[in-house]
């Protein structure tokens, strides 16, 4: 059923989509397991902002991501609430935060195959798609919103249950390690000690918000915001850890690709050597 909200995302007839859009849209529908009445919703959900530069924001996943974040949070909270009846609010919150964290969503989205269906613009593909990790997270949330708008909460819930809720565990309710300590241990492997600098204080004296930047040497890693200096430092450390983890993942992929290429080249050289020996 077409609503005023879905009309906002309509790009026109599917016949107006490019071959790449149609191909990726079809694959995305297979991954999601839902045939969209409004395919433009799903196309928006898998479209990186770089692919629609100069067009309204509704044509990429940015607005859908905003809605999907809230829908996903509610679905995860409800599942945790019913699954663990003896947990207090703190434990339930930690489970929710762990499950909807960017790293968690990006990992699930990659496993589903979303990396191959995201529509990137030339400005992003030219950089080797360095923003793939955050794009995967955003696309997952946007897809949840697209399902919700196209078919209702039950369909969105079934997708989340099939792809994400299986990763929920009681261990997520445990008190997490202090991100500042974890970051320090991580950086000290390379002989670096992180430093924190308060760069901005916002709001009136009775309602302060603190903004802190964490550095590795002279390199700024991440910025955190909190109601206290300690909270802003913790947020900065947590964001820095996520960035480092994402960079490590990309490096590992590059290393695997390099080893594969070297192995292929070695096999090719061996075949050529055997051919030369045989001809001789």
Which tokens go with 192?
């670096």
**What Cα–Cα distance (Å) separates residue 255 from each residue in 44, 187, 267?**
33, 21, 18
Q: If residue 241 lies in a helix (H) or strand (E), which one and from where to where?
A: helix 229-279
DSSP string, 144-204: HHHHHHHH-HHHHHHHHHHHTGGG--GGGGSPPPPHHHHHHHHHHTTT--EEEEEEEEES-
Q: How many Å apart are CA 279 and CA 154, to the nearest integer?
A: 68
* 37 in catalytic set: no
With beta carbons less than 8 A apart as the criterion, state whether 228 and 210 touch: yes
Nearest to 145 by CA among 159, 134, 163: 159
Marked catalytic residue, from 137, 141, 150, 238: 141
* 248 in catalytic set: no
Which tokens go with 3?
């609503």
Q: Count other C-beta atoms under 10 Å from residue 59's C-beta.
A: 19
Marked catalytic residue, from 69, 79, 233, 238: 69
Q: How many Å apart are CA 75 and CA 112, to the nearest integer?
A: 19
Q: How many Å apart are CA 225 and CA 213, to the nearest integer?
A: 9
Q: If residue 83 lies in a helix (H) or strand (E), which one and from where to where?
A: helix 62-83
Question: Which residues are catalytic, by number?
Answer: 69, 141
């Amino acid at each position: 059923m077409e609503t005023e909200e879905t009309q906002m995302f309509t790009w026109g007839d599917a016949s107006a989509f490019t071959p790449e859009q149609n191909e990726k849209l079809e694959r995305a529908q297979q991954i999601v397991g839902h045939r969209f009445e409004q395919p433009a919703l799903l196309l928006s959900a898998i479209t990186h902002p770089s692919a629609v530069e100069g067009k309204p924001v509704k044509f990429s996943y940015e607005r859908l991501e905003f809605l999907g974040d809230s829908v996903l949070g509610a679905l995860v909270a409800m599942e945790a609430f019913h699954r663990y009846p003896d947990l207090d609010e703190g434990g339930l919150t930690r489970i929710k935060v762990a499950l909807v964290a960017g790293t968690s969503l990006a990992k699930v989205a990659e496993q589903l195959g979303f990396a191959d269906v995201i529509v990137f613009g030339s400005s992003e593909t030219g950089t080797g798609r360095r923003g793939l990790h955050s794009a995967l997270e955003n696309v997952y949330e946007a897809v949840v919103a697209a399902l919700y708008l196209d078919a209702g909460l039950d369909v969105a819930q079934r997708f989340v249950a099939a792809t994400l809720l299986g990763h929920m565990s009681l261990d997520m309710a445990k008190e997490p390690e202090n991100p500042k300590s974890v970051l320090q241990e991580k950086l000290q492997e390379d002989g670096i000690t992180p430093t924190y600098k308060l760069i901005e204080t916002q709001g009136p004296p009775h309602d302060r918000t603190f903004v802190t930047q964490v550095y590795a040497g002279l390199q700024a890693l991440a910025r955190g915001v909190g109601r206290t200096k300690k909270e802003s430092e913790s947020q900065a450390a947590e964001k820095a850890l996520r960035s480092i983890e994402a960079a490590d993942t990309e490096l590992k992929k590059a290393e695997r690709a390099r080893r594969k290429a070297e192995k292929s080249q070695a096999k090719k050289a061996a075949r050529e050597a055997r051919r030369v020996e045989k001809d001789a």
